[in-house]
Amino acid sequence: MSIDTPPITPQQYEVLHGGGAEAAEIAKQRLSRRRFMRRSMLAVWGLSTTAAVAGGLAMLYPNVAAGFGGLVTVGKKTDFPAASKSSDFKKGFTGVFYNQNARTYVIHLAANTSFLLPSAVLGDQLQSETVVKDADGSYWIGLYQRCVHLGCTVPFRDDCSSFKCPCHGSHYNVTGEWLDGPAPRSLDRFSIHFSGSDVVVDTGVLNSKVPHPDTNTRLIAAPTVACSAGG
C-alpha cells in the first residue's frame, strides 16, 4: 500500500467525484493522513540514523567506553610510584593502589625488581600473567579485587606485603600469585595499557587463567613476614 494513496470507502469515492464541501473535507483528511505517515517514517529514519552513528562512533573511538566492564582511566603514571622490595609496598603510597571504579589494584613494580626467573623465560611468563613492561623498564599489573575462591573482596595487607582474603584465608603475593589457602589459582588480572601519560585498565578483558605457580613460573619471592591475626 502506498502512503500517497490511503484507501477510501466507496462512499467517499462517490462524494469526491461529485465535488463540493464534503469532497473538500475528505480531501483534507487524506492530506492529513499522508503528512502523518510521512512524519512517522521520517521519525523512524531519524532514530535509526542516530543509532547507526552512535554505533559507528563507539567503534571508531573505543576509549569513549567508560566504567566497570570497559576502559577505565585510573590516573596518571606519576600517581603510582613504583616499589621493588617487598617491604616497600604500601597501599595508596608505593607499589599498590586501589581504584574503586575499576575494582582493581594497580601494581607498579620498579625496573630493578628481582624476579626469580632467568631472562630467557621471564618475558613469556610476564606475558602469561598480564604483566606489562613500560618504556622506563618498570612493570604494571591490574589485579581484579575479587578472590578467586568464592568471590570475597581481597584487601592488600601492608603488614605482610601481600593480599590475604578475610573469608577463608587465601593468600596471594603482591603480583597476585597464589601463596596458600583454598583458592584454585592466582588472582585474576585485567589488561592494562597507557594512553599518553594515562594508565588505562580494560575491565572488559580478564585473564583468569593464571595457575598456582611453581618453581618454574613464580615471578617474585613470597614475603618473609607473616600476616598478623587481627589485620
- Residues 6 or more apart from 4 whose CB is under 8 A from it? 34
Q: Where are the alpha helices (DSSP H) in 109-189?
A: 119-128
Q: Are strands 90-91 and 95-99 parallel, antiparallel or unpaired?
A: parallel
**Residues binding ligand FES: number (CB under 6 A):** 13
186 binds ligand FES (CB under 6 A): no
DSSP H helical ranges for the chain: 10-18, 20-60, 119-128
Q: By C-beta, is 30 or 212 nearer to ligand FES?
A: 212
Stretch that binds ligand FES, among 87-95, 130-138, 175-183, 216-224 (CB under 6 A): 175-183
CB of 230 to ligand FES, least distance (A): 18
Rg of the Cα trace of the chain?
A: 31
- Record the cell numbers describing residue 163, joined without a space: 593480599
30 binds ligand FES (CB under 6 A): no
Smallest separation (angstroms) from ligand FES to the CB of 94? 25
Q: How far is the CB of 126 from ligand FES (least distance, A)?
A: 25
CA dihedral 62, 66, 67, 71 (to 10 degrees): 40
227 binds ligand FES (CB under 6 A): no
171-172 vs 162-164, strand pairing mode: antiparallel
For position 152 contacting ligand FES by CB under 6 A, the verdict is yes
Residue 72 or 183 with smaller CB distance to ligand FES: 183
As beta bridge partners, residue 140 has: 108, 132
Question: Interaction with ligand FES in 153-172: which residues (CB under 6 A)?
Answer: 165, 167-170
Instruction: Please measure the distance between the N-terminal and C-terminal CA atoms of the chain and give it in whole angstroms.
Output: 76
- Does residue 146 interact with ligand FES by CB under 6 A? no
The yes or no reply on residue 150 touching ligand FES (CB under 6 A) is: yes
According to the binding rule CB under 6 A, does residue 69 interact with ligand FES?
Answer: no
Looking at the Cβ atoms of 40 and 228, the one nearer to ligand FES is 228
- Which parts of 69-120 are beta strand (E)? 71-76, 90-91, 95-99, 104-109
Question: What are the residues binding ligand FES (CB under 6 A)?
Answer: 147, 149-152, 165, 167-170, 181-183
